[in-house]
A and B are shown apart, each in its own frame.
Chain A
Amino acid sequence: MLSPERLALPDYEYLAQRHVLTYMEDAVCQLLENKEDISQYGIARFFTEYFNSVCQGTHILFREFSFIQATPHNRASFLRAFWRCFRTVGKNGDLLTMREYHCLLQLLCPDFPLELTQKAARIVLMDDAMDCLMSFSDFLFAFQIQFYYSEFLESVAAIYQDLLSGKNPNTVIVPTSSSGQHRQRPTLGEASVLEGVEASLFYQCLENLCDRHKYSCPPPALVKEVLSNVQRLTFYGFLVALSKHHGINQALGALPDKGDLMHDPAMDEALERLLVQIPGLVNSVTASPEASCLPSRTPPRVGSPWRPLHHARKLDAESDGSTEETDESET
């Protein structure tokens, strides 16, 4: 019952650190919000339901963004909810634009900021092709990294910039990468050998960051794994590698493996039940599950696959080859 950490901290700090206070506050807040309704069926019942829903991860549905991003658990719950609700969109094989994904996000969280979606899309797409189409899985995994680790990634971006410009945030002298080309994402043609920063040095800095970072960050061992096999890498290369790393996905625990992304039998069953309920459509439901296809867009803009090619190859080599190109089949 009492973990060692429990003894190391004063009670209050412990509760705060574990976000228990957040949930207690939110529970009271919700109680206030719906006090008339709740008073009719019991406050004890309400608290039971509240904490049950927190455990199940359903407490974030349709909540405001400030709450959704308040705790790692909330973020993971949101990611999971997003996946569960819109898996069917991905299953249908549609490629959507950033704005469309944003719309879907807003269906679950009305004030979801566009900025985050844009950042996630930037991991998938080139800077200059922001209105390209993305597959559901590409977007989802990129979004996962961006959303779950957003504070961590901001720090990483700062470190990366410092490294690029020759400063060492850890006061370690960096001998390389003073080329003065500070472009974050050079295009294919300009990609030079000296693009990006040196991986080992980058890792040092990140390890340091992970140690003192109060927000959640990916397990340092996995970060090391990502960075260990390459000499140099760019910031976005790093993000892509993170988003494609199944270990990190597992550690995060919100989404299934990429291979199982379209697999959710419980929900499929629920969906079939719903389909049967559509009035007058009972017969045709089972007949044409694959026949229905969304209308094709007039200008077929398909997003560029992941990174500049050499990056992709490098990264694929590092991360046990489980990652594939964007348009992997959903079956």
Chain B
Amino acid sequence: MVTPSGCSGDDPVRSLTLRGSGASEADAAGLLGRSPAMIPGKYRSVSGRAASNVNCGLHLVIQTSSLPEKNKVEFKLNKETPSFPGRLLQHDLERNYSSRQGDHINLVSSSMPSFPILQRSSEEKILYSDRLTLERQKLTVCPVIDGEEHLRLLNFQHNFITRIQNISNLQRLIFLDLYDNQIEEISGLSTLRSLRVLLLGKNRIKKISNLENLKNLDVLDLHGNQITKIENVSHLCDLRVLNLARNLLSHVDNLNGLDSLTELNLRHNQITFVRDVDNLPCLQRLFLSFNNISTFESVCCLADSTSLSDITFDGNPIAQESWYKHTVLQNMMQLRQLDMKRVTEEERRMASVVAKKEEEKKRESQKQSLLKEKKRLTINNVARRWDLQQHRISNIAADQDGRDSDSPSQDPCQNAGSTVSAFQEETGSLDSGLTSALQGLSVTDTHLVEVDGDTLSLYGSGALECLDRNWSVQTAGMVTTVSFTFIEFDEIVQVLPKLKLKFPNSLHLKFKETNLVMLQQFNALAQLRRVDQLTVDPQGNPVVNFILWKYYVLFRLSHFSMQKINGTEVTQNDMIMAERLFGILAHVASSELPPYRLISVLGDARKKQFQCLLETKGRKPGIVSEENDNSKRLAGENTNRAALHYTTRDLYHEKLEEIKEKKKFCKMYIEDLVKEATEINMKNEALQKLWPQMFIELVRDAVIEVRNKNSYMKLCLQHITDQK
């Protein structure tokens, strides 16, 4: 059992526990420097006092030379064998470090030419029965070590050994240090089944191999070699520390099976991506400093590791990115240290805020693409319906289709309308927005409303309803282009007043597939406030095939002083031409239309302006023309054009019906009047015929009466007396 004592939290020195092979548990300890940048390169193992440790196991005090006392780490090794005050050497795994004293060992050249034979004095053997240090002995080969079968620690640091050999008999070996030699291949270790710590740093190894039997390996240090690939380690289920720093690794994978690995050092390689780390259940520390990682995606498996608490990325391209810190923190919530700095709560919060934002952005873009697709589908659907409507194909299937899509379309349409177009009504949570958009995809919509920058696009007649909606002032003000597609022009005419009201800045009108067939339809546009540009797509608008249409538009909408028609600049010549062609029409309409018609033709708005004009006209017919002209100029729109107005076909038919009714009544009324008049006339004529004769008769009677003067006088007197 290893008890790290006196190891303060700030101390980067870490403890290792090597489990013993026997009944007792741990019996060796190793130290691995965590960061050469922060920790002095050498740790010195300080020998314990032999006297106090004879039977109670090994008491190791390991001390970093430059650190104060509190950095001491003590290990107790319970051992059956008499323990010794060993000098457990630990060195910085990545650095050369200062020399130390070698043991007093006599290397006696044996009779054999190649292998020296090691001999130790029996005294020494008893003193350090289980350890042997052959440091800086200028060895080029491993000496034959005889009679030392109980050796547990063997140190060959700083020699020139090229090949591991002659140690296969040391089957109780736990600790083998071959740091700083010239070994090119891992070999000769197959019998060392008890080996826990194998230090092969600073050699010339190209390949990880021949470790098959070292099932108990706890620490494997291969730093400073020429390894290009992690391989043949999957059986090392007890391995807790693997150091592959300063190798030639280009990527990290094949980490399966390393179930106990807690620390993995991969500094100073050329790693571009990392995989399989999420298969290491115990990994706590991962050092990836000074590699070639440039995206978080290439190390994204780290996010799936639940045990990782300490990671370094410094010296990678990724660490330069602005999103680096918060991305890492957000994706690895379990992290306690990043690049040797403690992760604070504040940082975590920031990271999560930023990450949430990015998530939202991502969702938004996903939603956008969904909506785009939905838009495409909707437009297709609208186009199909339009075609059906236009060609009056009474296809039963199509009809069915149309009816089907009529009812359910209402909701998703509204939804699409609001999310695509007006940002002012955000639809609840993003998730629900997404799902509804997804549902929307399956529904065939009948119309589409879209606001894209300054353009309001309407597809399908149902889209006109959007003009009833409450648009935010900002959106409404921004829209300068309104485009109509797949909508009957007559239906558009009905909403023009609303358009004028809701989008006062709309200057550019676009019509496509709107069934513009007559020049008079353009009259309807005159009621708008301003139109700078007009684009009428020939598709579905036969009127564009007429050579006169452009001139008529210019003429009728001359009060807008339009800039462009169908993308072409309007020239002065165009204006003159338009006036030449249609000016007389306007003149006739204004000057020859009977006044009572003029009022009815002009809207209510103009009535007032004309009231006075008409009054003067009524009273003084002589000087009408001058005042007439004056008041005409007062009106904003060319009043002589106002008579040219457009009533949609439906309305016109209604009007005709109305007129018919009135006519019927008038006909009866006039008929009665005329009949009466003719009767009176007839009676009058009859009277006229009789009158001369009657008159003569009357005169004759009168003459006869007064012929006898006397009797007439008597008669008169009689009358007078009678009256009294």
Contact = CB atoms under 8 A, between A and B. Distances in A.
B618 A42 contact: yes
Contacts of B663: 25-26, 29
Contacts of A88: 580-584
Contact of A111 (B547, B652, B662, B674): B652
Contact of A92 (B581, B595, B652, B673): B581
A85 B551 CA distance: 15
B390 interface: no
Interface core residue of A81, A100, A103 (most chain B CB under 10 Å): A103
Contacts of A85: 584-585, 588
A64 B681 CA distance: 34
B530 to A, nearest CB: 16
Contacts of B674: 11-12, 15, 21, 24
B594 A49 contact: yes
A110 B594 contact: no
Contacts of A261: none
Interface stretch (B293-301, B331-339, B491-499, B569-577): B569-577
A46 B252 CA distance: 100
B542 A99 contact: yes
B543 interface: yes
Interface in A57-75: 58-59, 61-62, 64, 66
B7 interface: no
Most buried by B among A34, A42, A46: A34
Given A24-B674, A100-B548, A294-B577, A61 B593 contact: yes
A19 B547 CA distance: 40
Contact of A297 (B547, B595, B675): B547
A41 B666 contact: no
Contact of A274 (B518, B586, B669, B673): B586
A275 interface: yes
A271 B580 contact: yes
A64 B656 contact: yes
B37 to A, nearest CB: 79
Nearest to A33: B600
Interface in B496-554: 518-520, 542-543, 546-548, 551
Contacts of B551: 294
A40 B647 contact: no
A285 B591 CA distance: 23
A10 interface: yes
A282 to B, nearest CB: 11
Contacts, number: 185
Interface in B144-184: none
Interface string B590-608: 0111111101110000010
Given A45-B618, A292-B573, A28 B583 contact: no
Contacts of B682: 11
Contacts of A1: none
SS of A interface (majority): helix
B361 interface: no
Nearest to A54: B594
Interface string B610-636: 010011011000000000000000000
A30 interface: yes
Contacts of B582: 88
A279 B673 CA distance: 53
A286 B661 CA distance: 51
For chain B, give the interface size range: 35 or more
Given A34-B600, A62-B593, A103-B519, A87 B584 contact: yes
A270 B584 contact: yes
B584 A267 contact: yes
A280 B579 CA distance: 14
Interface string A261-283: 00000010011001100111100
Contacts of A33: 600, 659, 662
Interface in A245-301: 267, 270-271, 274-275, 278-281, 284-285, 288-289, 291-292, 294-295, 297
B593 A58 contact: yes
Given A99-B546, A100-B547, A278-B579, A62 B519 contact: no
Given A15-B674, A32-B666, A291-B573, A62 B585 contact: no
A231 interface: no
A29 B659 contact: yes
Contacts of A285: 576
B517 to A, nearest CB: 8
Contacts of B558: 278
Contacts of B518: 103, 106
A58 B543 CA distance: 28
Given A92-B581, A274-B587, A294 B548 contact: yes
B589 interface: yes
B678 interface: yes
Contacts of B656: 64, 66, 111
Contacts of A12: 674-675, 678
A21 to B, nearest CB: 6
B219 interface: no
Nearest to A296: B547
Contacts of B589: 61-62
Contacts of B678: 10-12
Nearest to A65: B656
B18 interface: no
Contact of A28 (B576, B584, B670): B670
A120 B525 CA distance: 31
Given A84-B584, A96-B548, A58 B572 contact: no
Nearest to B558: A278
A38 interface: yes
B132 to A, nearest CB: 103
8 contacts: A11-B682, A12-B675, A34-B596, A41-B615, A86-B585, A103-B519, A270-B587, A275-B579
Given A88-B581, A270-B587, 14 more contacts: A11-B681, A25-B663, A29-B662, A40-B614, A53-B592, A62-B589, A62-B601, A64-B659, A107-B520, A110-B647, A111-B656, A270-B584, A271-B583, A284-B573
Interface of B: 518-520, 542-543, 546-548, 551, 558, 561, 572-577, 579-589, 591-597, 599-601, 607, 611, 614-615, 617-618, 643-644, 646-647, 652, 656, 659, 662-663, 665-667, 669-671, 673-675, 677-678, 681-682
Interface of A: 10-12, 15, 21, 24-26, 28-30, 32-34, 37-38, 40-42, 45-46, 49-50, 52-53, 56, 58-59, 61-62, 64, 66, 81, 84-89, 92, 94, 96-97, 99-100, 103-104, 106-107, 110-111, 267, 270-271, 274-275, 278-281, 284-285, 288-289, 291-292, 294-295, 297
